[in-house]
Amino acid sequence: MITHSQRTRSRFRQIADGCLFAMALIAAYYLRARFPWFDLPELQPFGDYLWLLPIVALLGPVILDSQGFYAPPRPTTRLGAFFIILRSCTLTVVGLIMFLFIVREQLARSVIMLVGAIGGTLVYVRHELTAWLDTRDFAQAQFRRRVLWVGTADENRRLREALTRIERAGIEETGEFDPSVRPLEEFVRLLHEQAVNIVILNLAGVDRAQASRVLLACSHEGVEVVVRPGLLALPSPRVTIDQFGGEAVFFFRAQAASPVHLALKQAIDYVLGTLLLILFAPLLGLIALVIRLTSPGPALYRQTRAGLNGRPFAMFKFRSMTADAEQQQAGLADRNEMRGPVFKVSDDPRVTPVGRFLRRHSLDELPQLWNVVRGEMSLVGPRPLPVEEVKRFDDDTHRRRLSVKPGLTCLWQISGRNDIADFTDWVRLDLAYIDNWSLWLDLKILLATVPVALFGRGGR
């Protein structure tokens, strides 16, 4: 429960590992420059590598963190730690080589590979050393927090029994105090006598005035306070403390992804969406011309879809059906092949010959790049559904797929697309994406979408 000190130690470890990766670059350069066994080409001056130091120092810990190296529970076995470090250093080397290729810097690849080997070795030694130190009595004494429980006896006992083994190991109990039956002066005396580090305040059973006096006393004494409001706990990354109206409030995020990563995802959507829109502009014009020449009606089709949290927006597609397709849908209701609120028909008679080709290769979706640039959609996310289909959801948990921006492609798109016949399976894939989201997952989905679209797997 008391995770601030754990997060602080994790940050220190990340900073230390960043410094170790920077040292690894220096060591790799001089080891390569003085390599005695082979007649290798002469290296550029070390000054040409200096700009790479902060990049290496940042990239190494970031990738280690993405592999769960710092997140609790940390690797408990040497073999587990070794493989995480090995995988992370491999990704670091690959990332550095790709970055140098993009910026067109001609630095020795052997130096970059040595950075991964030396950096991984240093991080592994640091990990083993800190793991050994964490087991020493003097270290445990420093990390354990002296805790005073404040609240009713029943509430304190209930919370104490709910603690995990790791949480119990991080605290040293100094006593209990019930503000409803004992005076505040006795609470202050306990703070002095027991050298309390943290007060755990159980709000259940404690009135507002008593809780305010306890908080004010702790503020005067410089003692940290953990307030237990008695609300249902969500996973810790989704709960933060903020201020609103001059008071402390809990902020429950809809997903575990950090705001920084989500902001980075949005920036990638804007930049990459704009580039793709420019790149595909000739193809978009050609498709529009072919549609107009082969069937009556507009080239573009717009429909109101449910966006983030269900907010309606106009989604653009190339028209792949006859102009009166919506009017004909009611007559095809008995042919719906999708179990649930979604309407899907194979060999739909409304689809034009050109439209069938566009849909098989997902070319009809390309105009949605404009929705991405407008901020209404993302490159990767659950596919947007018509507002009328969303209104027919018979399970409220299905609406959680609306907690992120809809996307051009998703797990459903690369996992069978129209071969999936049950909307529940579709939602399961969307929720799996939301619960396990990362920038790396987005990249894998984007890369997997390319062959699916090219070869038309699962589309019709």
For residue 176, the domain's CATH number is 3.40.50.10700
> Could you give the dihedral angle defined by the CA atoms of residues 29, 34, 38 and 41, in that order, rounded to the nearest 10 degrees?
60
Domain that holds residue 208: 144-230
Band of residue 102 on the pLDDT scale cut at 50, 70, 90: confident
Same domain, 284 and 401: yes
Band of residue 105 on the pLDDT scale cut at 50, 70, 90: confident
On whether residue 247 sits in a domain, the answer given is no
The encoded tokens of residue 453 equal: 């679209």
The predicted-structure confidence for 399-429, as pLDDT tens digits, reads as follows: 888 888 999 998 887 876 656 667 888 888 8
Q: Which is more confident, 15 or 251?
A: 15
Band of residue 314 on the pLDDT scale cut at 50, 70, 90: very high
pLDDT of residue 263: 84
Q: Which of 94, 109, 137 is the last residue of a domain?
A: 137
The winner for highest mean pLDDT among 223-232, 340-349, 413-422 is 223-232
Same domain, 197 and 118: no
Same domain, 312 and 417: yes
Same domain, 195 and 217: yes
On whether residue 128 sits in a domain, the answer given is yes
Tell me the mean pLDDT in the region 144-159. Answer: 86
Q: Which is more confident, 103 or 417?
A: 103
pLDDT of residue 1: 45
State the Cα–Cα distance between residues 417 and 159, nearest whole angstrom: 47
Is residue 165 predicted with pLDDT exceeding 80?
A: no
Is residue 256 predicted with pLDDT exceeding 80?
A: no
Same domain, 170 and 125: no
**Cα 349 from chain centroid?**
41
Same domain, 218 and 100: no
Tell me the mean pLDDT in the region 417-445. Answer: 83
**Is 138 in contact with 158 (CB distance < 8 Å)?**
no
Instruction: Please name the residues in contact with 277: beta carbons below 8 A apart, sequence gap of 6 or more.
Output: 369, 370, 373
Q: Which of 230, 249, 274 is the last residue of a domain?
A: 230
State the Cα–Cα distance between residues 231 and 160, nearest whole angstrom: 16
HSE (side-chain half, CA atoms, 13 Å) at 213:
16
Which of 115, 121, 122 shows the shortest CA–CA distance to 32?
115
pLDDT > 70 in the chain, percent: 85
Same domain, 130 and 157: no
pLDDT of residue 19: 93
State the Cα–Cα distance between residues 361 and 305, nearest whole angstrom: 22
Q: Which of 122, 137, 152 is the last residue of a domain?
A: 137
Band of residue 121 on the pLDDT scale cut at 50, 70, 90: very high
Same domain, 317 and 360: yes
pLDDT of residue 411: 85
State the Cα–Cα distance between residues 148 and 151, nearest whole angstrom: 10
Same domain, 312 and 432: yes
Tell me the mean pLDDT in the region 379-396. Answer: 87
pLDDT of residue 73: 58
On whether residue 244 sits in a domain, the answer given is no
On whether residue 81 sits in a domain, the answer given is yes
pLDDT of residue 372: 94
**Is 85 in contact with 75 (CB distance < 8 Å)?**
no
On whether residue 50 sits in a domain, the answer given is yes
pLDDT of residue 459: 52
pLDDT of residue 341: 73
Q: Is the pTM of this model over 0.85?
A: no
Same domain, 172 and 60: no
Is residue 43 predicted with pLDDT exceeding 80?
A: no
Lowest mean pLDDT among 19-23, 84-88, 244-248: 244-248
Instruction: Please name the residues in contact with 81: beta carbons below 8 A apart, sequence gap of 6 or more.
Output: 69, 75, 124, 127, 128
On whether residue 240 sits in a domain, the answer given is no
Same domain, 35 and 66: yes
Tell me the mean pLDDT in the region 70-96. Answer: 82
Query: Residue 120: phi, psi to the nearest 5?
Result: -65, -40
Q: Which is more confident, 232 or 168?
A: 168
On whether residue 285 sits in a domain, the answer given is yes
pLDDT of residue 241: 75
On whether residue 131 sits in a domain, the answer given is yes
pLDDT of residue 389: 86
Band of residue 168 on the pLDDT scale cut at 50, 70, 90: confident
Same domain, 305 and 450: yes
Q: Which is more confident, 95 or 252?
A: 95
Q: Give Rg (Cα) of the chain.
A: 29
Domain count, the chain: 3
Burial zone of 434 (CB within 10 Å; 0-12 exposed, 13-18 middle, 19+ buried): buried
Tell me the mean pLDDT in the region 380-401. Answer: 86
**Is 252 in contact with 234 (CB distance < 8 Å)?**
yes
Is residue 217 predicted with pLDDT exceeding 50?
A: yes
- Rounded to the nearest integer, the mean pLDDT of the chain is 83
